[in-house]
Chain A
Amino acid sequence: MIPKGIEDRYEVIRVLQESAATAVILVNYKKIGALRILKAIHKAHPNANSILSEAHLLQGFKSSQLPTLYEVDDTEDMYYLVEEFVEGISLREYLQQTKIKKEKLIHISIEICKIIEHLHTAGSEPVLYRDMKPEHVYLQGNIIRLIDLGISIRKSDARNSIPYGTKEWAAPEQIEGGCLDESTDVYGVGKVIEFMQMSSYGKDDFKIKNIVDWATNPDKNKRIKNIKELRERLENLQNEYVFDRKGKQHLEKKIAVVGAVPAVGTTRVAMSLSQFFNKRGIDCYYRDKEKDTVVRLWRNLKNTELRQGVLYHEDFMAIMEYGDAVEPQIPPKGMYVLDCGSNENIPFDTDLIIYVTSTMPWQQTEEYPEWIEQNGVYVINNFSDRISSARLARVLRKKVYMYPQIRGFGISKEEEKVFSAIFKNEKDFIIGQKNKIKNKKER
């Protein structure tokens, strides 16, 4: 299905794709001897206008990461466009040959986000790409490029559009013909990151997995809303890895304490953990964003002091979660212990997870979160004995730390022993102990 009358200008090198009414051909532009891609569609094809639409969209964008449009024309029975032949290797091929590092994965992901962000923001209205998959991402060394805007569409036209897309990669609302917006492309990019993660050294990295889960949530209301937000989250992660390599970030970690069920002692563990680090000279702040735990402490605990959004009490420091009618406070730098209650949706940038469970008959859980097997997740068994902890360790196939019985607000020696045992495995957290005396003086 090669358009007639182009032979004088273009020499067909190879037909890349062909059907009864469409063709994608690699051609040589004779005049200057350059390779180009020619896409053609029969005028009788119900989707014949897609060529013009793609040409129109490509014309509107000036980005080195998108193919350049050279020509749009028609013959007696066909429309065709000629665009730049993007050299390099597709992401799918690249991942078949290479197992990538986490840093590379994040770099590629950020670059893809930037291209999509350009599509969403450069024109008078967002253009939805709708066809994100590893075959459409090309790598030219460190440069990432995106090809094929064949089914891209303006957001305002999305309502009346035919549901197009590739089944494994497209968002559910795209396949079902639902309402499309920028989050539809977030889903696609999330799927590509997920695909990269499978072929990377960061396969078990729960921080990347969290971002993927959030970006590919089938419910678009629970999904990352726009590509900028996704890019920023990836950039935060990127900065963190860079700092990690330089060894500067050890005092700015986030630890999530998550309970298997409510009333399993999550808050107590989180508070004691915060005190554990503060006693060792590492500034560590307890934080509970969901509940009013810190306010209750302020109201009921004696000898507390409130300063710049932080509640101080002996070795304990906690962040007050103020509403809009309080003058804004800058969160202090340091380590954060996040009390997540029994909410398994842990914050995406958590460095380490303490999972608190209990083997009491009324508190036993049937299902454990998927991430429990990963490195950096530690299990504490509260209100339990040695035998039940050993049993649980067998079930989970990882070490379970038995939590001691406690009284009063302060951290007990037995609790300190548990945390010491956990953090002796974490190099980054031990470094801070050397600064104990220095930090105490500064404070």
Chain B
Amino acid sequence: MVKKIKLKIKKKDNKTICVVGVSSKSGVTHLSLSIANFIHSVLRIKVIYVELKKESSLLPVVGIKQTKTLDMVSYSYKGVTFVLTDNPKDVINLMKMKKAWIVIDMESLNQETKTIFTNADNKIILGFLDPWNQREYYKFLETNTMFINGISKIRFSTRSKNKKEKNNLRKFSGMDIVDIPHIENPFSLKEKEFDILKQIIE
């Protein structure tokens, strides 16, 4: 008789979480910062925050203490290492080489950044589902079908309480829809915000 053996899977010491918005001003940086700070300050895990943008908006905030990560200039702020780059190759190298959790704040999903998005362990698309914003969700899905097709575990995050709209989007996209509550300050997280952040990264 064959005995069933339960295999224990060794936990990975690196994990990549990629956040992209359906449009600009979707709150991608706010959520990404919250996730990165949560990973470091609550879970006590080494984390690298990558701001993949042409023009960095974080440099004035985090650029006090300069460090080096894989020969790239990086910054350390409240325990999180910040890499500010506009080169997707840098990010791919980081994902390959670095044994740390990586949170990627991605400006846009396109041909160049596609590899990063598809290789991330957690893929989050963020936007608002209010009636005047939801068009952007559907537009994003139509435009990026070729990038997200065939990926089963994308998490769409919204800031809407409209169940009907959420169900419509769930059916249309075939993906998970998660509500993101308002996180007041990503650099001063509150315990009530922990559960949702835990849910997002797991």
Contacts and interface: CB of A to CB of B under 8 A. Distances in A.
B44 A321 contact: yes
A443 interface: no
A324 B188 CA distance: 8
Contact of A295 (B42, B79, B189, B191): B42
B41 interface: yes
A324 B79 contact: yes
A308 B192 CA distance: 10
Nearest to B34: A325
Contacts of B78: 323-325
A307 B189 CA distance: 13
Contact of B198 (A292, A299, A309, A322): A299
A198 interface: no
A325 B43 contact: no
A295 B197 CA distance: 14
Give chain B's interface residue range (CB within 8 Å of chain A): 10 to 19
Nearest to A327: B188
A325 B40 contact: yes
Interface string B34-75: 000110111111000000000000000000000000000000
Contacts of A309: 191
Interface in B75-106: 78-80
Interface string B159-202: 00000000000000000000000000011111100100010000
A324 B42 CA distance: 9
A295 B43 CA distance: 6
A292 B46 CA distance: 12
A326 B43 contact: no
A325 B189 contact: yes
Interface string A298-309: 010000001111
Contacts of A292: 43-45
A140 B186 CA distance: 57
Most central of A299, A306, A326 by chain B CB within 10 Å = A326
A320 interface: yes
A292 B190 CA distance: 19
A63 B141 CA distance: 76
A278 B122 CA distance: 40
Contact of B186 (A307, A322, A325): A325
Contact of B42 (A307, A308, A320): A320
Contact of B187 (A306, A322, A325): A325
Interface in A281-310: 292, 295, 299, 306-309
Nearest to B36: A325
Contacts of B186: 325
Contacts of A322: 41-42
Most-contacted residue by chain B among A299, A306, A307, A323 (CB, 10 A): A323
Contact of A325 (B37, B191, B198): B37
10 cross-chain pairs, A with B, having the tightest CB-CB distances, nearest first: A323-B41, A325-B37, A325-B41, A324-B78, A292-B44, A327-B188, A325-B78, A326-B41, A326-B189, A323-B79
Given A292-B45, A325-B38, 8 more contacts: A306-B191, A308-B191, A324-B187, A325-B37, A325-B188, A326-B191, A327-B188, A327-B190
25 contacts: A292-B43, A295-B43, A295-B44, A299-B198, A306-B194, A307-B191, A309-B191, A322-B41, A323-B42, A323-B44, A323-B79, A324-B78, A325-B40, A325-B41, A325-B78, A325-B80, A325-B187, A325-B188, A325-B189, A326-B37, A326-B190, A326-B191, A327-B188, A327-B189, A327-B190
